[in-house]
Amino acid sequence: MERSFILDRKVLLNIEARPSGVYISDLESNISSAEISECVRRLHLAGLIYSKDEITAAGREFLDAVRDENRWKRIESALSLARGWTYSLVHDFALHIFENASDTNGGSPDYQRRAG
């Protein structure tokens, strides 16, 4: 199966939203349990999750970088243009988008809320 950062993000968001010990629910009807299991395996091997219900510090950092919907749309666009992306590259690209938005907009609204 080919890696899907879209599914990876959905699974991470789903794990984060669930109480510990509750397994990932149906994300969408067109995503099979085999695809979800493979995604969980990839996320575990990448060090982003400990188990199907616990995100690592690196996973939280990755998720924080890709959580914003506007930023994610820009990342999706870039992902469609080239192959060979890694979690690290997606994370760094997301941070680059954040830094550019901070420079032009005076900072991210999320960051301003947390900082203020």
- pTM, two decimals, is 0.74
Q: What is the pLDDT of residues 59-76, one digit of tens each?
A: 999 999 999 998 899 888
Where along the chain do its domains lie? 5-56, 64-115
Amino acid found at 84: G
20's CB contacts (< 8 A; 6+ apart) are: 53, 54
The residue-averaged pLDDT of 45-50 equals 93
